[in-house]
Amino acid sequence: TEPCFMQKGEKKAVFQLPDTYYPDKYKSASSTLADRFGSDATRTIPVRNIAMPNLSLPLQLPYHDQFSLWVPRHRQMAARLIDVFMGMRDLEDLQAVCSYCQLRMNPYLFNYCLSVAILHREDTKGVNIPTFAETFPDKFMDPKVFRQAREVSTTVTDGNRMPIVIPQNYTASEWDLEQRVAYFREDIGLNLHHWHWHLVYPFDASDRAIVAKDRRGELFYYMHQQIIARYSAERLCNDLGFPRRYNNFREPIEEGYFPKLDSQVASRAWPPRFAGSTIRDLDRPVDQIRSEVSELETWRDRFVEAINTLKVKLPNGREMALDEATGIDTLGNMMESSILSPNRQYYGDLHNMGHVFISYSHDPDHRNLEQFGVMGDSATAMRDPVFYRWHAYVDDLFQMYKSKLPPYTNDALDFPGIRVMSVGIQGGAGGRNVLSTQWEQSSVDLGRGLDFTPRGSVLARFTHLTHDNFNYVIEVNNTSGRGVMGTVRIFLAPTMDDAGNRLAFRDQRRLMIELDKFTQTIPAGTSTITRSSVDSSVTIPYERTFRRQADRPGEPGSAEAADFDFCGCGWPHHLLVPKGTPKGFPMLLFCMISNWNEDRVVQDTAGVCNDAASYCGLRDRKYPDKRAMGFPFDRPASAGDIGSFLTPNMNVQECSIRFTNAVRQHGQQR
């Protein structure tokens, strides 16, 4: 068989399995299979014959079913399989159990658990697994592509194949207003980011260490808060109102969604949700789910009660205070919920089960034998308009807590001696303080994820939003008389609401999109900081979102290839800037320099990929900023508008985003 993963320095190899590893149906064909895959391999590696651990639980998920992180039964299966993979004493044993599983286990479950294990085992740092978009391209694109790919790959030889073009706007017509932001919701890179984020931050595992990452509950809140802020800006650019919260679980969901995705594994279309669907009590014996909508309401009420009293009830009957330093982290874990929730029995599983209820709204009692819709899968959930309604509500609950905290005092905000004289944008085609956006066509290779012969590369070309690179230019005056270290925090927010009224600070702060955050030496006197947009602490480059092993410049095992799965987490760079409008959409650029001595986290970050830490944190490290995530906008302030919020170490600049309706080819970056 093909290896589950490649070890350091390994190129092409084929794995020879002990006969006992083959499921009965393949036994007679095992030598033919070996020949087929072995023909272009450079060497054959025998797989160790080990006594298999007990895999009966994860093997209960049928091969052709979908797998959801959020379905409780699936979580148990995943937790067991992750345990098995984590428990293998060395890489050869891991390879052995993987090869065994690969032939019989549900591929989605298998891929998820193996990825989590590779990410968390000491001995798998630098081990490569194929990128998810290429393994399961069916989760990301129009199935027509696969029919065409099949045709192309059987009629045209590898090397002469033209890329297959994935159309834009294939899930709905313009009659559906929500379609105006489909370019964002259905962006392949965006959905990959979300899948990666949930891979890096699992909420369930029997090994607590896999879950217990520094401030993971707060990061759950913050990363999803930023999704809502960014989506809101995209909506405003497209003449749509703010995302409406899904806060009444008894009301129909106005938005429908017809995903037009086919599962290649299940040979079945993902079910749609009709406009006006209402979530209903779930009773699905196959998934061992029985849950009532009233449970969601109970959990919600208890969550709100914890915020109102600033106290959490513990299983032992005691209470724990939600304090300023860790309250949001605790609430994040309670809401999601993760196993770090202080009382999962009482506060339940609000966010996860919200996904589950919505994803089964078309068949809550399994009478139609349907599987869950796209909201049930972290790789596809962001395609659906209801995702943003659900997370807008989740964010509202977090904001309810933030509004209980005292506003930051000027002392907490200011950096005495440091004055930001100006901030601006340069380098785009549109001139000073203008950001330029347009479409771009890029390709992804489907060859790996298509289960047909002959093999080889089949490129799919898709169109996505992008922007011109630009620089931030910040003028600083340091009157402290000596060089100091500062943390530069850059945000961008709309200036007006959908009705054209100027946004008050209380609304604008929640729309602040983090663009970048970096540490900077500031010499005494006046100086100018120039920072390139491509260095953003929020994003990863296009190549990292999509790149496959063979395209990586470094050898496998090099620092570049190492940590691939962690490094695959990061907002896709092509979506750094909202779309804007042809006339130019007004935005406010914000810059703050805070005192690094108060922000810094002392740790060694050498060798970890640390260029997208804002939304993804750092592997095996603390979150590299001591302040609350989203600082200084995470709390309400008494300021009526942004002008009166500013301390001398902050400044703003009106700018605009100008969209040009043209398509450039990937690589033609200006």
> Which residues make up the interface to ligand CUO (CB under 6 A)?
194, 198, 224, 351, 355, 378, 381, 391
Name the residue nearer to ligand CUO (CB basis): 378 or 647.
378
Smallest distance from ligand CUO to CB 338, Å: 11
Beta bridge partner(s), residue 461: 165, 443
Q: Any idea which residue has 């990929």 for tokens?
A: 609
Beta pairing partners, 466: 438
Tell me how many degrees the CA angle 491-493-497 measures, rounded to the nearest 5.
165
Q: At closest approach, how far in Å is the CB of 354 from ligand CUO?
A: 8
Does the N-terminal peptide bond of residue 337 adopt cis geometry, omega within 30 degrees of 0?
yes
Residues in a beta bridge with 654:
588
Q: How far is the CB of 220 from ligand CUO (least distance, A)?
A: 7
The amino acid sitting at 211 is V
Q: How far is C-alpha 176 from the geometric centre of its chain's CA atoms?
A: 26
Q: Shortest distance, CB of residue 296 to ligand CUO, whole angstroms?
A: 14
Q: Which residue is nearest to ligand CUO (CB)?
A: 381
Q: Where are the beta strands (DSSP E) in 318-470?
A: 319-321, 418-426, 434-445, 459-467
Going by C-beta distance under 8 Å and a sequence separation of 6 or more, which residues neighbour residue 408?
632, 635, 637
Please say if 134 is a catalytic residue: no
Residues paired with residue 405 on neighbouring β-strands, in sequence order: none
* Residue (468 or 514) nearer to ligand CUO, CB: 514
- How many Å separate Cα 99 from the centre of its chain? 28
Q: Which of 218, 234, 255, 336 is catalytic?
A: 336
Which residues, listed in sequence order, are joined to residue 659 by a DSSP beta bridge? 437
Alpha helices in 181-277, H assignment, sequence order:
182-185, 188-200, 208-211, 216-237
| Shortest separation between residue 191's beta carbon and ligand CUO, angstroms | 11
- Residue with smaller CB distance to ligand CUO, 213 or 391: 391
Q: Please say which residue, 194 or 464, places its beta carbon nearer to ligand CUO.
A: 194
Report whether 505 contacts 645 (CB < 8 A). yes
Q: How many degrees, rounded to 5, is the angle at CA 51 between CA 49 and CA 54?
A: 135
Residues 6+ away with beta carbon under 8 Å from 171: 179, 182, 186, 257, 258, 259, 260, 383
Please say which residue, 395 or 516, places its beta carbon nearer to ligand CUO: 395
Strand 268-269 with 262-263, pairing: antiparallel
Query: Checking DSSP bridges between strand 585-595 and strand 484-494, what pairing results, if any?
Result: antiparallel
Provide, rounded to whole angstroms, the least separation between the CB of residue 441 and ligand CUO.
28
Q: In terms of CB distance, is 228 or 589 closer to ligand CUO?
A: 228
Neighbours of 481 (CB within 10 A): 9
- Give, as one character, the DSSP assignment of residue 348: T
Closer Cβ to ligand CUO, 194 or 579, answer by number: 194
User: What's the min distance (Å) between Cβ of 145 and ligand CUO?
Assistant: 25
Length of the chain: 670
Cα–Cα distances (Å) from 644 to 229, 414, 595, in that order, read 22, 13, 21
A 10 A CB-CB count for 29 gives 11
What does the block give as tokens for 432?
């000073």
d(CA 213, CA 415): 30
Query: In angstroms, rounded to a whole number, what is the distance separating the alpha carbons of residues 576 and 590?
Result: 15
Q: Residue 194 or 383: which CB sits closer to ligand CUO?
A: 194
Q: Is 155 exposed, middle or buried (0-12, 13-18, 19+ CB in 10 A)?
A: exposed
Residue 504 CB, shortest distance to ligand CUO, in Å, is 28
Smallest gap from residue 63 Cβ to ligand CUO (A) = 26
The residues annotated with a catalytic role in the active site are: 336
